[in-house]
Amino acid sequence: MAANAIEVSRISKTYADGTAAVEDLSFMVPEGSCFGFLGPNGAGKTTLMKALYGMVRRDPRPETRVSVLGFDPAADELAVKHLCGVVPQEDNLDAEVDVGTNLFIYSKFYGLPAREARERIAELLGFMELKEKARARVSELSGGMKRRLVIARALMNRPRLLILDEPTTGLDPQVRQLIWDKVRGLKREGVTVLLTTHYMEEAYQIADSIIIMDKGRRVLEGPPRELLSRGIEAWVLDVLDPDASGGLGEGPLSAGVRREEGGYSPRFFSDHPEALRELAARLPSGATHLRPTNLEDLFLRSTGRKLNDLQ
Ligand code: ADP
């Protein structure tokens, strides 16, 4: 069995104003895996990441234990910083200098000799597909390029653990795919990846295991596909036209079909798509949409709330 890169037992964080951002979370992250935290805005994901790399002081509770690559960030912040690469939510790049210089300045923090730094920079610009932008100023980069640069920067010191806080928020689907590919590549090289996201697709695509979080607490934990197969039916029929749903009446449903009231119109869940197709046939064509269920459906079912109201 792989060793754990991270072991956390009963971590909590309450801010000075009384906000309980993280409440009593425990989890383990096997080395070389990608572990995701999925939850809506305000779930406590960023706070948790910051507590892991020592940017936020967790509540000093006697029952709490935290080990990040063998170190406790509350006691050994510097050791953790040297072993981790962090991609924060905000692109905190130096806008006045060019791409290569941004990386070069960063290499100094890690005490890399100049020659080695230049080699590493060339390698990372190649890896993140930014080579032709080496001399461009940060202010001339698109949002997706900036994100890729922040990731390259986080990889400067060849970290064993990469922490990605909402890595693709606001980016277009092509850049998102590219970043997912790179994360998969890093994982193949043995890097452990910790990821926060409010995109269920992101968690599904790249995380081996996830914790679904809400209001600082764990709602569910496990490999995404397993969570789905255990927690919710395989198929859902969305009724797109609320007026049409009247046609389904309140009458009995076929066996194995569950009706859920939500939003504008009811939704029907089943493991048997044919049962849902039969139901759809009672409504005008185009009034329904049959699809496989996803983590968003599971989140809604578990919390009664949407994962991403703004998406
Ligand atoms: P997420 O990353 O899931 O969006 P955050 O960790 O940013 O969640 O926030 C969790 C909760 O903590 C939210 O209610 C947020 O308003 C609150 N919070 C975050 N940072 C601070 C802070 N510095 N002071 C007080 N409350 C904060």
**What pLDDT sits at residue 170?**
87
**What pLDDT sits at residue 311?**
39
**What pLDDT sits at residue 102?**
96
Does 40 contact ligand 1 (Cβ within 6 A)?
no
Q: Which of 12, 14, 15 to mutate to test the pocket of ligand 1 (most atoms within 8 A of CB)?
A: 15
Atom of ligand 1 nearest to the CA of 50: 6
Distance 215 CA to ligand 1 centre (A): 10
Distance 3 CA to ligand 1 centre (A): 31
User: What CA–CA distance (Å, rounded) separates 36 from 168?
Assistant: 13
Mean pLDDT by runs of 10 across the 311 residues of the chain is 90 98 98 96 96 96 97 95 93 92 93 94 95 94 94 95 94 92 94 96 96 96 97 94 70 82 83 93 89 94 78 39
pTM of the model: 0.92
User: What CA–CA distance (Å, rounded) separates 196 from 199?
Assistant: 9
Of residues 159, 142, 135, the one with CA closest to residue 87: 159
**What pLDDT sits at residue 187?**
95
Does 293 contact ligand 1 (Cβ within 6 A)?
no
Residue-wise pLDDT tens digits, 249-294: 666 777 889 998 877 778 999 999 999 999 999 888 888 999 999 9
Of residues 309, 304, 306, 254, the one with CA closest to residue 281: 254
CA-nearest residue, atom 12 of ligand 1: 21
